[in-house]
Structure 1
Amino acid sequence: MNPTGTPPDRAAWLLELRRENAEQEATLAGTFDEHWGEIGETHRAFVERFCSMLPAGGRVLDAACGTGKYFGMVLERGLQPLGVDHTGAYLDAARERLPQVPTEVHDLQDLRYEDSFDGVMCVDAMEFVPPEEWPIVLERFHRALRPLGHLYLTVELVPPEEVRAANEDARTAGLPVVEGEVIWRDPDPYYHHYPPIAQVRMWLSGAGFEVVDELEGPWGEGYAYHHVLARATAGTPPGA
């Protein structure tokens, strides 16, 4: 067993999935904005509200920033973004978009910032994080924030019956998935995890966050996003 309590065979599988995901994402970098570059109305409203909660000139960690499509919104509010992503090709595109914004290559699970940011945003990315690593990632976010800093994240939603069916398919194929995990094919296989929102709230609380606001966004093409704004409470979260 590793420190997260994950059996060795599952831990190795998750590491391999992370590697494969990085490779797949690298192939999408050139066309990402063409397919996913538009900022939806609800996403825009939450980013604007998140930015309004931060002090003038504050620092923002855009975790899993992709091609940096939110950099402009953050800069327009007089804030200082730093973009991190595990896919270097995405960061190349982000630098082409706004070269003045610094970027660094990191996995969410491996962030090492401490008391450095007034806000952390992680938009449309947590679906790639397996359940045993959600607490780790949230604790990394909390540690990166200054006292009483703010977090904005989204949680992807898919109809439960589709998740259950895909999860059962993965189990039948002999994969070490747990509840809420699926392997989609579009056409290549890729991993997503869909935790219950009640579980997300528990993880946030355990990592030292209190939810300020949340909203289920509009559904379209079979999925939606649950938007969460949270504030880091005083003190160090358990396990940090």
Structure 2
Amino acid sequence: MTSPNTNTNSDSEPLIDPAAESVAVYSDHADDYAANHAPKMADRVERFANSLPTPSQILDAGCGPGRDLARFADHGHSARGVDLNPVFVAMASAHAPTSQCDLREVGSQFPAGTFDGIWACASLVHLREPETVDVLGQFARLLRPGGKLYACLKSVGRTGWLDEPDGRRWYTVWDAEAFAAVVAGAGFEVDHVRQGAFVEVWATSFTSGS
């Protein structure tokens, strides 16, 4: 039996799952990835951490090797990580409790209203558009009313497979306005949008967490 996230063709033969295949590639160069990305996003983490009362419960959704888990702890917050890649999960566990989880199923991993903030830093980039929309809805349910969301994903290039020096991955490229609209539609008030190579959205949950 194929998993819920495996597409099938008309003959019921399993097809590639772009997200799973893309995330698996990181295992081969996990240490290099961690080193290369270690200095990045510190200002965004600080801004997000300061937008929440201390201490807050933060979910680092797609935490990678755990860089930002450590940073949130330094800011006085209690962070938890989830990631699909088992090598990253092992690395991130040195910084905070971390479990292996497909973001497309993250809503089933925690009770509604568990978190004050959800940090999704480039963790949605390998999902197809409908999957991203669904995950954003799961994020809204996991947040308490007034909880904060940060999400960023690619806004330059084209959607599809990309051959990179450390492997081949699928990326979905979003228009900034379109992504802001789906965040709003998932149950958030969009507070700020910043566009560059990545579109960044800062938002506040107005759902009840149910």
Please report the TM-score for the alignment, with normalisation by the length of structure 2: 0.86
| Distance in structure 2 (CA, Å) of the matches to 1:190 and 1:157 | 16
- Contact 2:144 2:207 (8 Å CA) reproduced: no
Q: How much is the aligned-residue C-alpha RMSD, in angstroms?
A: 2.4
% same residue: 25
Unpaired segments ≥5 residues, structure 1: 1-6, 164-180, 218-223
Q: Evaluate the alpha carbon distance shift between residue 73 and residue 120 of structure 1 in structure 2; reply closer, same or farther with a 3 A threshold.
A: same
Q: Which residue is equivalent to 2:3?
A: none
| Distance in structure 2 (CA, Å) of the matches to 1:211 and 1:9 | 38
Number of residue pairs the alignment of both structures matches: 200
Q: How does 1:1-16 map to 2 (within 5 A)?
A: 8-9=8-9, 13=15, 16=17
How many angstroms does 1:46 deviate by? 2.3
Q: Does 1:191 align with 2:164?
A: no
How many angstroms does 1:74 deviate by? 0.7
Q: Which residue is equivalent to 1:232?
A: 205
Please report the TM-score for the alignment, with normalisation by the length of structure 1: 0.76
Runs of 4+ aligned residues of structure 1 deviating over 4 Å after TM superposition are none
Give a deviation string over 1:57-107, Cα, whole Å, max 9, x none: 1100000000111122211221100011001101211234x2xx1001111
| Distance in structure 1 (CA, Å) of the matches to 2:193 and 2:43 | 12
Q: SS state of the match for residue 9, structure 1?
A: coil
- Contact 2:145 2:206 (8 Å CA) reproduced: yes
| Distance in structure 2 (CA, Å) of the matches to 1:16 and 1:194 | 17
For residue 108 of structure 1, the aligned residue among 99, 103, 106 is 103
| Distance in structure 2 (CA, Å) of the matches to 1:57 and 1:216 | 30
Q: Which residue is equivalent to 1:210?
A: 189
| Distance in structure 1 (CA, Å) of the matches to 2:198 and 2:164 | 20
| Distance in structure 1 (CA, Å) of the matches to 2:193 and 2:79 | 23
Give a deviation string over 1:168-208, Cα, whole Å, max 9, x none: xxxxxxxxxxxxx2111125431000021111112111110
Q: How does 1:125-136 map to 2 (within 5 A)?
A: 125-136=123-134
Q: SS state of the match for residue 212, structure 1?
A: strand
How many angstroms does 1:138 deviate by? 0.1
Given residue 78 of structure 1, which amino acid in structure 2 is its aligned partner? G
Q: SS state of the match for residue 150, structure 2?
A: strand
| Distance in structure 2 (CA, Å) of the matches to 1:186 and 1:46 | 25
- Contact 1:214 1:228 (8 Å CA) reproduced: yes
- Larger radius of gyration between Structure 1 and Structure 2: 1
- Contact 1:122 1:153 (8 Å CA) reproduced: yes
Q: Evaluate the alpha carbon distance shift between residue 231 and residue 132 of structure 1 in structure 2; reply closer, same or farther with a 3 A threshold.
A: same
- Contact 1:46 1:227 (8 Å CA) reproduced: no
| Distance in structure 2 (CA, Å) of the matches to 1:34 and 1:77 | 21
